[in-house]
């Protein structure tokens, strides 16, 4: 897949730079043509000599050539490349890329890119979690760049958490997948539901659940990145979307979500029900605030419509229906039963017994099961990476 592809590798000043010679070696071995560009700080972590030897081309680290003072042409490089991969990228460079601060050759080359751009951040977990870093990442995503999410693990500081740059082999696979599949959901209409539903009791109270919507939002972003036209039907959440290929529809209750799904599903090629829809609602909704009384308060709840089941019953030919199952015991057995009883094509299983998986976390761990019983067992990963894993499995196993 990478044979003859022209790849620019941009390195910035993080300890993870020590992994890049290996990435360059892997790319060259696959037949790619590689040009390495570096920030001045990155030269403290890995030498240009190592990289020029491995890439078989001289490395550019300065805007001007030291021998004759000539300009190093970042515009030409931007037009030459089939893909640019920036790895590792520090919090500092993320900020510069997000805001167009072109004070070194790496950022000028980034700003000149005419090709898909991959960015692999690497930093300590607190720097990574800082709203400033997250904001810059979101800005870069909104420009259409692909963020290679850092992995969860032990960091150079000795702390443990998200921030570790993705391994060179995984970056290589990602690039190969990009050239293989590219926009593999082009011309596909995908509905994704996400978040909780709120069932009103009175104007100031509701029955809700702990879902934040993060997993569903990541799936919507991933599907859009791969070319899908996405309708995101979202329950109450503060999350925002970035990709221009996503249309968002906000709903509040299970009944609202039901109405939206039933109305929109016939036009969709794929429906992914990641929302945590309430199973019961309060039918005696009061238009005024309930006053406390002397005794107990009993609220009678009524079942909501099972949206997924209804979509399964009315599924069009060639439409794919994907459900989620959140289980605490007999996980696989329960998930397989749901797959069959709701006429699904795939079911994504979340087990609350898995450490690092569940509501409100940045990470998740899932399994996916298809109709023939194939089980894909995922590993603990960031939610965007899990979203890519889910879409990959669906795309590879759809019939």
Structure tokens at 1: 């897949």
CB 361 within 8 A of CB 372: no
Whole-number minimum distance, CB 299 to ligand CTP, in Å? 18
CB 140 within 8 A of CB 110: no
Positions in the binding site for ligand CTP (CB under 6 A):
254, 273, 275, 277, 279, 304, 306-308, 323-326, 338
The Cα–Cα gap between 60 and 55 comes to 12
Indicate the DSSP class of residue 68.
T
C-beta neighbour count of 217 within 10 angstroms = 26
User: Of all helices (H) and strands (E), which one includes residue 135?
Assistant: helix 131-142
The Cα–Cα gap between 270 and 322 comes to 8
Q: Which is nearer to ligand CTP, 176 or 305 (CB)?
A: 305
Whole-number minimum distance, CB 308 to ligand CTP, in Å? 3
Q: Which is nearer to ligand CTP, 159 or 283 (CB)?
A: 283
Q: Which is nearer to ligand CTP, 88 or 378 (CB)?
A: 378
- Give the DSSP letter string of 330-397: SHHHHHHHHHHHTT-SEEEEEETTSTT-STT-SEE-EEEEETT--EEE--SEEHHHHHHHHHHHHHHH
Q: Which is nearer to ligand CTP, 155 or 274 (CB)?
A: 274
The catalytically annotated residue of 209, 334, 343, 397 is 209
Please, is 372 exposed, middle or buried when counting C-beta atoms within 10 Å of its C-beta (0-12, 13-18, 19+)? exposed
Q: Which is nearer to ligand CTP, 191 or 326 (CB)?
A: 326
* Neighbouring C-alpha atoms within 13 Å toward the C-beta of 30: 21
Whole-number minimum distance, CB 273 to ligand CTP, in Å? 4
Residue 73 is a catalytic residue: no
Catalytic center residues: 209
């Amino acid at each position: 897949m990478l044979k003859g592809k022209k790849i620019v590798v941009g390195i910035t000043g993080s300890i993870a730079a020590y992994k890049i010679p290996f990435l360059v070696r892997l790319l060259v071995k696959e037949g790619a043509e590689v040009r390495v560009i570096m920030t001045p700080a990155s030269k403290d972590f890995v030498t240009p000599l190592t990289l020029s030897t491995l890439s078989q081309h001289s490395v550019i680290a300065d805007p001007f050539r030291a021998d004759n003072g000539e300009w190093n042409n970042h515009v030409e490089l931007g037009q030459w490349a089939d893909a640019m991969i920036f790895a590792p990228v520090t919090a500092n460079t993320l900020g510069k890329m997000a805001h167009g601060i072109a004070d070194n050759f790496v950022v000028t080359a980034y700003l000149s890119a005419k090709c898909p751009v991959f960015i692999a951040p690497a930093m300590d977990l607190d720097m990574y979690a800082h709203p400033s870093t997250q904001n810059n990442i979101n800005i870069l995503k909104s420009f259409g760049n692909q963020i290679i999410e850092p992995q969860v693990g032990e960091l150079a500081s000795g702390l443990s958490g998200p921030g570790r740059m993705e391994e060179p082999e995984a970056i290589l696979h990602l690039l190969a997948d990009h050239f293989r599949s590219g926009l593999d959901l082009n011309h596909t209409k995908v509905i994704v539901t996400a978040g909780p539903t709120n069932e009103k009791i009175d104007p100031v109270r509701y029955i809700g659940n702990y879902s934040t919507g993060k997993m569903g939002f990541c799936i919507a972003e991933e599907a859009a990145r791969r070319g899908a036209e996405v309708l995101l039907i979202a329950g109450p959440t503060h999350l925002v979307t970035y990709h221009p290929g996503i249309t968002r529809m906000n709903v509040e209750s299970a009944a609202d979500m039901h109405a939206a799904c039933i109305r929109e599903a016939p036009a969709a090629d794929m429906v992914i029900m990641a929302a945590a829809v309430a199973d019961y609602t309060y039918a005696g909704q009061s238009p005024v605030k309930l006053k406390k009384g002397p005794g107990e308060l009993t609220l009678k709840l009524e079942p909501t419509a099972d949206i997924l089941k209804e979509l399964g019953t009315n599924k069009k030919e060639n439409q794919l229906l994907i459900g989620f199952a959140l289980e605490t015991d007999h996980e696989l057995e329960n998930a397989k039963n749901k797959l069959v009883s709701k006429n699904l094509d795939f079911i994504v299983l979340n087990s609350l017994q898995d450490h690092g998986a569940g509501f409100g976390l940045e990470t998740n761990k899932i399994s996916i099961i298809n109709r023939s019983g194939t089980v894909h067992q995922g590993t603990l990963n960031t939610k965007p990476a899990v979203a890519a894993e889910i879409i990959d499995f669906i795309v590879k196993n759809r019939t």
